[in-house]
Amino acid sequence: MSLLVVGSVAFDGVETPFGKRDKVLGGSATFFSTSATNFTPVRLVAVVGNDFPEEHIDYLKSRGVDTKGLVRDKDGKTFFWRGKYDFNLNNCETLETQLNVFANFSPVLPDGFRDSEYVFLANIDPVLQLKVLDQVQKPKLVAMDTMNFWITGKRNELVKVLERVDMLMINDSEARQLSGEHNLVRAAKKIRAMGPKHLMLKQGEYGALLFSGDEVFRAPAYPLESVFDPTGAGDSFAGGVMGYLAANGAGTSELKQAVIAGSVLASFVVEDFSIDRFRRLNTNDIQERFKAFHKLTHFDDTLRLPKV
């Protein structure tokens, strides 16, 4: 099934207690695409500047990314973000943000992209997300991401997007801010009443939660010996989820499997800087970690309730 992502392709400058990298490949659509293409080809819509190396575009193409929607603005530079993590890798200090050509980004879908069956609206201005929704024809499933900045600054536009999507992927603090509820169960109920049938809460080192129908499903985070760079983990999670759904369908069972798929891909990307771990990733690696997740969560074939 066809999968479309609209978001950012960028340069990142990242510093963690375990190393430092400058001007490496980043951006929400980049992490999403390189994750999702482990399951299905991806159609990419984004903008880069005159400083963006052709070798990065060639790499995306080599992974099965259709870059017809990747526009090069020759009059400006590529979006750049710099951040610093302390030993608590959940905390990131943004040191610098240069929107550059991304400041004037207005997504236009190529004709061949408008029939995309699965659509992911990465973390961009809700006004732009609405513009994308006006261009796609009859998608089977639309998912989106957002952040505190848009929840506060463009809530009315964001609510309009929520009314038109099937799935929202955000973290705990964003869910609490959007819903006005501290309790995540109540927050999920309130958010789903805004439109999305499915809500996935990204919880970093604590895993992920899926609220769908009357069911709640939790996937743990995979215990890793080495975590070098959490940048892009959330977008890689989203890529794994949407790539799996586009390849397998979006029934109840598939949604749960997709949460695991997203968790698996997110667990890989943090093992190196930028998308470097994905460059070395192969099918066997993914399958083995899937098995490890199953072993991590499956404690017995027969449920035997404890005696009380």
Residue 13 pLDDT > 90: yes
Q: Tokens in use for 3?
A: 């999968």
Select the CATH number that applies to the domain covering 3-297 from these four: 1.10.10.10, 2.102.10.10, 3.40.1190.20, 3.30.110.30.
3.40.1190.20
**Identity at 23, one-letter amino acid code:** K
The residue extents of the domains of the chain are: 3-297
Q: Report the pLDDT value the prediction gives residue 303, as an integer from 0 to 100.
A: 59
Nearest Cα neighbor of 81 from 7, 24, 13, 17 is 13
Percent pLDDT > 70 in the chain is 97
Average pLDDT over every residue of 222-230: 89
Round to whole Å and give the CA distance between 86 and 95. Answer: 13
Answer whether 236's CB lies under 8 Å from 32's CB.
yes
Band of residue 302 on the pLDDT scale cut at 50, 70, 90: low
Residue 82 pLDDT > 80: yes
Q: What is the pLDDT of residues 238-248, one digit of tens each?
A: 999 999 999 99
Average confidence score pLDDT of the chain: 94
Least confident of 37-41, 114-118, 219-223: 219-223
